[in-house]
Amino acid sequence: MPKIEPEAMVGAKITNLSLRRWLHSLPGVDKVGLEARAASLGTRSIKTTSKAWALDAAIKMMDLTTLEGMDTPDRVRSLCLKAMTPDPTDPDCPSPAAICVYGDMVQVAKQALGKSGIYVAAVATAFPSGRASVAVKLQDTKDAVKAGADEIDMVIDRGAFLSGNYLEVYKQIQAVKNACVRSDGTTAHLKVILETGELQTYDNIRRASYLAMLAGGDFIKTSTGKVTVNATIPITLLMLQAVRDWYDQTGVLIGIKPAGGIRTAKDAIKYLVVVKEVAGEQWLTPDLFRFGASSLLNDVLMQRQKLKTGNYSGPDYVTVD
């Protein structure tokens, strides 16, 4: 994959001023048009074989998540078991792409998942607020990588972003990216959480997306799931436009991860439609698209059972996690 030359992209030496010029030269977002497009794509009807494909795809693209203060090693283990055997009545049921946990649970998850091929993603950098010194954030990341995390979900410093200190945000992402390098030279995959619910405007979300891509994020992720407004379809659509345009411009493929508030199979399928229509089918793979979700899996499993048996399923027929 081609490498990005940040200075060539921005057209100047990277300073706060040049970043500001570059980000603010991006076209403004047409709010009405964006929301109308998102709403119209959401009305698509996906049935029978397409639906079966979409449900399986949604599972394969899922980061099954538990990010609670009350997470225990046993809870993480049971979630890992669920990821390995989502539907005990159907051995053909695919597994989620990854388990997403706090850094201190990485080892537990790694051990429980064994050679199943399911990745472990860890949130780092003082998730969810990101309010800690850079040294602490980097150590947080290094600890998770050392414990074996395959993917790191970092949060950007929203305070710095909103006060116009783009250079600080940029530098932090780069520093975390460097902290993702393992001792053997390989790198943990970096997802950059923009926390769109705190960025106030669509224009800011577009700018934050470009800033994260410029700084070297492998994925841009909407939210932590810990604020009032989490992933929405218009926001995901906007970010999909950003990764699509970035690919056209640079040839670099960046992934997208909407997270938080996606609870039903119906919602998940709407997202898949948007991905296909906005970014293209190329993005319909776990390498480039993920859902961050916890309760979504059970709903998708119930819909799978409905398709298979013809009967409506219920929560008694999926595991409680």
Partner 1 sequence: MRLDIKKTYKLYIGGKFPRSESGHTFELASAKGEFVANVVLASRKDARDAVVAARAAQPGWESATAYNRGQILYRIAEMLEGRREQFVDEIRELTGSTEKAANQEVDAAIDSWVWHAGWSDKVDSVAGSMNPVAGPYFNISTNQPTGVVAAFAPQQSSLVGLVNTIAPIIVTGNTVVVVASELLPLSAITLTEVLATSDLPGGVVNVLTGKESDMAPWLASHQDVNAVDLEGTSDPVDLEIRAADTLKRVVRPGTFSRSAAKGSLQQILAFMEVKTVWHPKGH
Asked if 91 is part of the footprint of partner 1 (rule: CB under 8 A), the reply reads no
By CB under 8 A, is residue 310 in contact with partner 1? yes
Whether 87 is catalytic is no
Q: Determine, following the binding rule CB under 8 A, whether residue 85 of this chain makes contact with partner 1.
A: no
Dump strand ranges (E) for the chain: 62-65, 98-102, 119-124, 151-155, 189-193, 219-221, 255-257, 291-293
The 8-class DSSP code of residue 196 comes to: G
CB of 264 to partner 1, least distance (A): 10
Rg (CA), the chain: 19
Cβ neighbours of residue 306 under 8 Å, at least 6 residues apart?
312, 313
Q: Which of 153, 157, 218, 299 is catalytic?
A: 153
Q: Which is nearer to partner 1, 184 or 316 (CB)?
A: 316
If the CB atoms of residues 141 and 303 are measured against partner 1, the closer one turns out to be 303
DSSP letter string, 116-163: S--EEEEEESSTTTT-S-HHHHHHHHHHHHHTT-SEEEEE--HHHHHT
DSSP one-letter code for 301: H
**Site pattern 251..290 for partner 1 (x: CB under 8 A):** ----------------------------------------
| Measured distance CA(265)–CA(47) in Å, rounded | 12
266 is catalytic: no
Stretch that binds partner 1, among 50-58, 132-140, 175-183, 313-321 (CB under 8 A): 313-321
Catalytic residue among 142, 221, 270, 276: 221
CA distance 288 to 15: 30
Q: Which of 283, 314, 319, 321 touches partner 1 by CB under 8 A?
A: 314
Task: Kindly list the residues in this chain that would bind partner 1 in the complex (CB under 8 A).
Answer: 305, 310-317
Residues identified as active-site? 153, 221, 257
